[in-house]
Structure formats: structure tokens, C-alpha cells
Amino acid sequence: MPMSISTHQSLLNTNIMPASSRKRNKGKERKAKQQAKKEESERADARIFWRGWVKGAECDHGCVVMLSDDHPVSSFMDTFHLILHHKRSETIDHVVSQTLGELFKSHKQLWNNEDYRRLVLDILVRIGTNALLCEAGTNLPVCTAHCIKILEYYDGTDDINSVMNSRVVILKRRDLNPRASSIKRDTLKFFRKRISCKCLKKMHLEARKTEPKTGKCFHCKVQKERVSLSVCSQCMVHQYCSRECQVANWSAHERHCGILVHHHKLKG
């Protein structure tokens, strides 16, 4: 049966999008394109940043890095430095945990590929070493060292938090505390042990002469020589300068202590 003129007009009216809706959709499309362009630009800047630090000195420090822009490791490193940049105002511990937590979700294939993970480690070692050689401050090498320790200790688990909170990792992250006065000495030692050249030898030996090994009491926050600090007998991580400080800090430490002990048992 032929469609009446009134029915045909009614259907046409329902298919015509109001001008305000078309304008909103165009606005959304424009914003999406602008956001995509911004993200692409930020990713390009991140790549220039980390590749610049990888090249650094003439020496490769025994870490051979050859990869194309479309390599999965390049994507990992781009995202790694993008997240670091966005979270740079936060504490090192929080930055590292958030960054690797997000990368664990977005690049799971890389974490479970030993060759890719080894390549990431070589890149991070070169970045940290070159940053120390250029004396660019401690934040970049310290943050990089924290990430290296977690990647080294990763064992294929689906629970990345169990790795981050394992005793081996937590102890190293505690001693590589940006607010510790022996941080340069400890960071130099960390990277010197992971390179095959002698690029950091002189700097490390000089730091050993001028910087005593120190740590910070978790309660009074006073810097002490590490040998004079005692650790909690349960978690074996939090350290105190006296029994009084440990007792005074127990109400704040109790819950965290239980979490650490739980993760220590999971990791054996």
C-alpha cells in the first residue's frame, strides 16, 4: 500500500537531527581529535626524553639497546615516561607503584616475555647510569632504580602488588629513599653492580668516602647511621632508632606491618 504524504513527512522529521545535537556531536569530535593530537605529541616528547638518556655517554655500559619505534618495548617506555611525567609531583614510592601498576595492566604481554623485560631493564640501567654520570640529580636514577628492582623480581604472578610489597623489593626501596642522606652512595652502588664497565667506579668510591650509610627512623624521622637502627621483628622492614620510637609508632605501623608480613609469606 502506498505511504501517505503525512506518514512520509513524519518519518523524515524523525530522521532529521536537530541543529543543536549536530553541533554538540561536532564539538565532541573536535575535542576528541584535539585530545588525540595532544596525546600523540606527549608520547613523541616522552620518546625523545628517554631515548636521549639512553644514548647519553659514549659507553653503552654493557647494555646493548637496539629497537625500532614500533617495537613493543618502545611503546612500554613511551607509556612509562608519560605516566612518570604526569605523576612527577608525588612521592617516589607512589609514583613507582602507580606507574608500574598501570603498565602491568596495559602491557601484560611484555611483563611475561623475558626477552622484552630484559630489554626494558637494559634501557632503565642505561638511563639511570647516564643520569648519574651527568649529575642530573637523584630523582630520575632513584625512581628508575625502584622500577628496576620490581621488574627484576617479577616472577609471572598476576598480583603485581605481591611483588611490590615483597621483602626483597621493599628493603631496597626503603634504602633508596630520596630523603636519606646516603642516597647518592646507595644509588651509585645499585647501578654500578648492574653495568659491566667502570663508568661509575670513581664516583661510587668517592661517595663511599664522603657519605656514611644512613637511614631514617620511621617514627622520629631522624637520620641515623644504618648500623644503629633496628628493624621490626615481624615485617623486617620498618626501622627505628630506639625501642621507645618503635612502641610509639606501633599504632600507625600495625596495619601496614600485617600487610607486609602477608606479602612476605606469599613470596616465600
Chain segment 147-171, per-residue pLDDT in tens: 999 999 998 888 888 888 888 888 8
Looking at the structure, tell me whether residues 207 and 227 fall in a common domain: no
Q: By the 8 A CB rule, do 54 and 127 touch?
A: yes
Domain limits at 241?
Answer: 213-268
Same domain for 148 and 232, yes or no, is no
| 58 within domain boundaries | yes
Same domain, yes or no, for 71 and 87? yes
Is residue 191 located within the same domain as residue 217? no
Q: Do 133 and 253 reside in the same domain of the chain?
A: no
Same domain, 171 and 234: no
Query: 171 with 237: CB under 8 angstroms?
Result: yes
Interaxial angle between packed helices 72-86 and 19-55, expressed in degrees from 0 to 180 and rounded to the nearest 10: 100
Q: What is the average pLDDT score of the chain?
A: 84
Residue 71: inside a domain, yes or no?
yes
User: In the predicted model, is pLDDT for residue 8 greater than 60?
Assistant: no
Report long-range pairs for 172-177 (Cβ below 8 Å, ≥24 apart): 172/145, 172/146, 173/93, 173/96, 173/146, 173/149, 174/215, 174/237, 174/239, 175/215, 175/226, 176/142, 176/145, 176/146, 177/92, 177/215, 177/216
How many structural domains does the chain have? 2
Domain boundary among 211, 241, 257: 211
In a domain, residue 17? The reply is no
Residues 231 and 144 in one domain: no
267 and 246 together in one domain? yes
- pLDDT confidence bin for 109, thresholds 50/70/90: confident
Question: How much of the chain exceeds pLDDT 90, in percent?
Answer: 34
Q: pLDDT tens-digit profile of 22-66?
A: 777 777 777 777 777 887 888 888 888 888 888 877 899 988 888
Instruction: Note whether residue 18 is domain-resident.
Output: no
What is the reported pLDDT for 15? 55
Determine the average pLDDT of the residues in 170-186. 83
- Residue 107 sits in the same domain as residue 93: yes
Convert 193-217 to b/e letters by CB count within 10 Å (16 or more is b).
Answer: ebbeeebbeebbeebeeebeebbbb
Q: Based on the domain organization, do 153 and 78 belong to the same domain?
A: yes
Per-residue pLDDT, averaged over 110-136, amounts to: 92
Reported in sequence order, the residue ranges of the chain that DSSP labels E, i.e. its strands, are: 214-216, 223-225, 230-231, 239-240
pLDDT average, residue stretch 100-125: 91
Same domain, 70 and 142: yes
Same domain, residue pair 105 and 132: yes
Question: Is 90 inside any structural domain?
Answer: yes
Domain closes at, from 211, 226, 243:
211
